[in-house]
Amino acid sequence: MTTFRRDVETDGRRAVVAFSREKLDDARRRDFTMNALYADRTGRVIDPLGTGLDDLKAGRVRFIENAGDRIREDYLRILRFFRFHAWYGDPQHGFEAEELAAVASGADGLATLSRERIGHEMRRLLAAPDPAPALGSMATSGVLARVLPGADPSFVAPLVHIEEALGMSPD
């Protein structure tokens, strides 16, 4: 049997948790609807929030419940938002306006994160097949200037296309 958790308290980086027997408690403490999916022992997907599977299929990266609350619980979620979008988001659909506004509002909280954590998330984002749209939205929202001062996202897209043309892989 799996143990589920629920958040009791958080300081913007670490959470005090209590154990629970409910998937819904555990799902509500996740960052995005697509990470709140579970599977039973037969492989059947369980979506306690009722939105995660649809969001995953549609390439929508959305915070669970209130985006601002999720961000204040852990500011690393800002960078994870862009990374998840770079990997799983639908580039034709773009970013959800409400989520992007919450990210911009919470960007000052990035100053509480260690350089190592920021670097780790940025390396994972940059390893996506085409990180340029995410980097462009990071720039527009003010996040990129906070984590990589002076960075210009317009240089990334041509590099991605050069790699594709040469048959190179980031692996």
Stated pTM of the model? 0.80
Bridge partners, residue 16, by sequence: 9
Q: Tell me what pLDDT residue 11 has.
A: 58
Q: Tell me what pLDDT residue 162 has.
A: 45
The Cα 75–Cα 110 span in angstroms is 6
The Cα 38–Cα 121 span in angstroms is 24
Q: Tell me what pLDDT residue 166 has.
A: 46
Q: Tell me what pLDDT residue 157 has.
A: 56
Q: Which long-range contacts (CB under 8 A, 24 or more apart) does 62-69 make?
A: 62/32, 62/33, 62/96, 62/99, 63/31, 63/32, 63/33, 63/99, 63/102, 64/27, 64/28, 64/30, 64/31, 64/32, 64/33, 64/36, 65/28, 67/98, 67/99, 67/102, 67/103, 68/102, 68/105, 68/106
Q: Tell me what pLDDT residue 102 has.
A: 97
In this prediction, the residues of the chain whose per-residue pLDDT falls under 70 are 1-22, 24, 156-171
Task: Give the E-state strand segments of the chain in sequence order.
Answer: 4-10, 15-20, 38-39, 45-46
